[in-house]
Amino acid sequence: MSEFQTSSTRKAQKQHKCQCCYKPIEPGTQYVRHAGCNDGDFYWFVFHENCGALVQKVADYIGEAIDPGEAIYLAEEYGVEL
């Protein structure tokens, strides 16, 4: 079993789509790129800085990895706020 995770903050060169709130990340703005490998499956996500922080906070609160697209819903359900 191999597992790693890395996140970095970058400046968008082109438009990306946030995988938490599904709104565009405009070129020239800071965004978070979160990449990892889980049992040989490579994955990566891009988020607005706030959305990335929210996903992290909800995952920490629940204690396991979450689907980033559900972070906003889960944050409401569990009463997690940034």
Residues that bind Zn ion (CB under 5 A): 18, 20-21, 48, 51
78: left (phi over 0), alpha (psi -120 to 50) or beta: alpha
Q: Residue 35 or residue 37: which is nearer to Zn ion going by CB?
A: 35
Q: What string of DSSP letters covers 41-78?
A: EEEEEEEEHHHHHHHHHHHHHHTS---GGGHHHHHHHH
Q: Residue 4 or residue 69: which is nearer to Zn ion going by CB?
A: 69
3-state secondary structure of 79: coil
Q: Residue 26 or residue 60: which is nearer to Zn ion going by CB?
A: 26
Ranked by CB distance to Zn ion, the top (closest) residue is 18
Q: How far apart are CB 49 and Zn ion at their closest, in Å?
A: 9
Q: How far apart are CB 57 and Zn ion at their closest, in Å?
A: 14
Q: How far apart are CB 59 and Zn ion at their closest, in Å?
A: 15
Whether residue 25 contacts residue 11, with contact meaning beta carbons closer than 8 Å, is answered with no
